[in-house]
Amino acid sequence: MDCLFCKIIDGEISSSKIYEDEFVLAFKDIEPQAPFHAVIVPKEHIASANEINSFNSFLVAKVFEAAAKIAESEHLERGFRIVNNCGEDGGQSVGHIHFHMMAGRQFAWPAG
Ligand code: AMP
Ligand code: ZN
């Protein structure tokens, strides 16, 4: 399968790793939108949030468990934002579900 994030998970394409466990990988976004910007992905290929079901939804929980660990190790005591872009209108550009974890600045709300 021609999936950029599967290639990063397999090590075919290099990334700057922040966190890894059995279920998820987190790496630095190449176009950071904040002083800290990680991309957290489940290691299983899931195309988007539209593909979440009762069999794979535990992986979303694993992403958030990883985020809590990253917040601690990266000292993100002031808080962070997690974003999932889904589909065309959601602004998704890579077809492997991923969660942006951003910190180090104040984020606007509602998001634009
Ligand atoms: P999205 O637009 O929500 O699909 O997010 C895709 C994200 O992946 C963007 O923020 C890109 O900057 C990021 N990205 C694309 N290619 C790479 C790469 N090779 N390494 C790290 N991040 C990447
Ligand atoms: Zn993939």
pLDDT of residue 111: 82
Strands 24-28 and 17-20, sheet pairing: antiparallel
Residue nearest to atom 13 of ligand 1 (CA): 29
d(CA 5, CA 11): 10
92 lines ligand 1 (CB under 6 A): yes
How many A from CA of 104 to the centre of ligand 1? Answer: 19
Question: 47, 98 in Cβ contact below 8 A?
Answer: no
Q: Is the pTM of this model over 0.95?
A: yes
Question: 11, 81 in Cβ contact below 8 A?
Answer: no
Please check the confidence at residue 1 and state whether its pLDDT lies above 90. no
pLDDT of residue 109: 94
pLDDT digits (tens, 9 = 90+) for 3-48: 999 999 999 999 999 999 999 999 999 999 999 999 999 999 999 9
pLDDT digits (tens, 9 = 90+) for 43-66: 999 999 999 999 999 999 999 999
